[in-house]
Structure 1
Amino acid sequence: MSELTHAVPLPGPGEDTTDASTRQRVLQLVAGEGPITAADLAARLDLTPAAIRRHLGVLETAAQIAVHDGVGHGPARRGRPAKRYVVTALGQSALSQRYAEIATDALRFLADTVGTEAVERFAAQRVAELEARLAPRVEGAAGGDVAGRVELLADALSDDGYAATARTVPGLHAVQLCQGHCPVQHVAHEFPQLCDAETRAFSRLLGVHVQRLATLAGGGHVCTTNIPVAQPPPAADVAPTTNPPVLAPEGTNA
């Protein structure tokens, strides 16, 4: 799903950037305080009931918040109970864009003040933690069965949130590891060291040299890593003749 789909809805006709900023604050407050009512949100943000209903309507239409179907929150009141809102998975994705901006700013500061080597060390350390989690799963494949290890790696990555699959390449002795989601996609767009460190980790986990063909951070629709699973058969040798020809010495007739 694209960044535009995840983003907090942009200002509509007649709105300005302040509306989008307020909507971001509403979403953050629902995430932190939900389930929460419109009245509580209006009081916390010093907004009129009409204004808060407008922002909630936009966020609900974008499927970033939803009415909580639980009961038992807050004191019991007569009459129709007030709606209480919670953040959906799409809303969490919209909020994560802010975290990506902060992470990018932090790495940019690190590169400017310490140097790009510090970013590379950070990337290596981050991926080392991922590698440590995945290694026990991948080691379940027997010996040199690279294809089996790729399948296990894909399953482990999917459980870690990467939406990964292993796909055979017809006509080639290779498997492609495809990742449909990357939690650091927007950060890696500026700092590809994160992708490079991940590729090296895959190579270590699988015990073969792998090649990254495309990344989400680089504009691809998936992250694709090409992995050789077997050596191609050797070319057929020409059988030697029983009596190889003998060359005549120089200066003589053959």
Structure 2
Amino acid sequence: MKNIRNVAPGVSAAPETDASTRQLVARSILEHGPSTAAELAERLGLTAAAVRRHLDVLLEHGLLDAREQRIYGARGRGRPAKVFALTDKGRADFYSAYDDLAIQALTYLAETGGPDAVSQFAQSRIAAVEDRYGEILAAAGPEVTPAQALAQALSDDGYVASTRPSALGEQLCQHHCPVAHVAERFPQLCEVETETFSRLLGVHVQRLATIAHGDGVCTTHIPHHPQHHADPEVVQLTPKERPYS
């Protein structure tokens, strides 16, 4: 991952070990999406008490927010566990420092050339990436799906991507978006990226959620088989497959 400092923003570096552990907690949430304290403890090999201590500090500094975990079906005894998600401030440490400059440049481009100029810029920007990703997918072995090969290529470029099975195909999850703040203002960037995924994978993909729109993860549905655009497949998600909000 590029442009990640050793200490989470707004958190004191003393003691250094605590700051490093808090950074690991924040990064784990970035990579895996909103998480409970128990899930974080298991992933990081820490006690639940230690994780909660670090979560309290991150919450105090406005780097996380907490919400009740969504429960589908019958609810057991007791209150639902809390899920912790990165706030915009918490994500800021993982974003490029050039967001403001990029927004200003695209704003000027839109004002002088119109909205289509931004789309044309996005297509030009992604053209070289599409060629490179196409070569990676073509060279992938039979042990991985095209979506998994694409996820690895995206991860190598800093998007912290993964896949998970879906009833109707796979979900491509991007846990980090280096241009999320820019894409919030200019959704053409997300639209062009989605079109590129469709061309690379040879299927009509469907974007279900984006970090730029406030979701925890950018999630794209990839069907098992090519779809006919005249009669598109309706994606029905089970509760476990629904993207984090």
Shorter-normalised TM range: 0.5 to 0.7
- Corresponding residue of 1:162: 159
> How many pairs were matched up?
150
Label 1:7 to 1:121 Cα distance change in 2 as closer, same or farther (>3 A): farther
Q: Is the 8 A contact 1:140 1:149 kept in 2?
A: no
Label 1:155 to 1:111 Cα distance change in 2 as closer, same or farther (>3 A): same
Label 1:224 to 1:59 Cα distance change in 2 as closer, same or farther (>3 A): same
Q: Does structure 1 residue 149 correspond to structure 2 residue 146?
A: yes
Query: Cα offset for 1:8?
Result: 6.0
Q: Does structure 1 residue 230 correspond to structure 2 residue 229?
A: no
User: Which of 171, 186, 190 pairs up with 1:191?
Assistant: 186
Amino acid at match of 2:163: A
TM-score (norm 1): 0.52
Deviation per CA, 1:43-97, whole angstroms, max 9, x where unpaired? xxxxxxxxxxxxxxx874598x99xxxxxxxxxxxxxxxxxxxxxxxxxx64955
> SS of the counterpart of 1:227?
strand
- Tell me, which stretches of 5 or more residues in structure 2 are unaligned? 1-6, 21-91, 228-245
Work out the CA distance in 1 between the residues paired with 2:15 and 2:98.
Answer: 20
Amino acid at match of 1:128: A
Work out the CA distance in 2 between the residues paired with 1:138 and 1:227.
Answer: 15
Q: Is the 8 A contact 2:96 2:179 kept in 1?
A: no
Deviation per CA, 1:119-150, whole angstroms, max 9, x where unpaired? 010011111122122111111357xx8x7111
Query: Cα offset for 1:226?
Result: 0.3
Q: Is the 8 A contact 1:163 1:181 kept in 2?
A: yes
> SS of the counterpart of 2:199?
helix
Q: Which has the higher contact order (CA 8 A, sep 6+)?
A: 2
User: Which of 201, 204, 212 pairs up with 1:206?
Assistant: 201
Work out the CA distance in 1 between the residues paired with 2:217 and 2:122.
Answer: 20
- Corresponding residue of 1:23: none
- Corresponding residue of 1:136: 135
> SS of the counterpart of 1:133?
helix
Query: Cα offset for 1:101?
Result: 0.8
> SS of the counterpart of 1:208?
coil
Q: Map 1:4-83; keep pairs closer than 5 Å.
A: 9=10, 60=13
- Corresponding residue of 2:177: 182
Q: Does structure 1 residue 124 correspond to structure 2 residue 123?
A: yes
TM-score (norm 2): 0.53
Superposition misfits of 4+ residues, deviation over 3 angstroms: 6-9, 58-63, 93-98
Q: Is the 8 A contact 1:165 1:179 kept in 2?
A: yes
- Corresponding residue of 1:220: 215
Label 1:229 to 1:141 Cα distance change in 2 as closer, same or farther (>3 A): farther
Amino acid at match of 1:175: E
Deviation per CA, 1:12-55, whole angstroms, max 9, x where unpaired? xxxxxxxxxxxxxxxxxxxxxxxxxxxxxxxxxxxxxxxxxxxx
Q: Is the 8 A contact 1:212 1:225 kept in 2?
A: yes
Work out the CA distance in 2 between the residues paired with 1:62 and 1:129.
Answer: 44
Amino acid at match of 1:208: V
- Tell me, which stretches of 5 or more residues in structure 1 are unaligned? 1-5, 10-57, 67-92, 233-254
Q: CA RMSD in A?
A: 3.3
> SS of the counterpart of 1:189?
helix
> SS of the counterpart of 1:217?
helix
Deviation per CA, 1:148-187, whole angstroms, max 9, x where unpaired? 1111111111111110001101xx2210000001111100
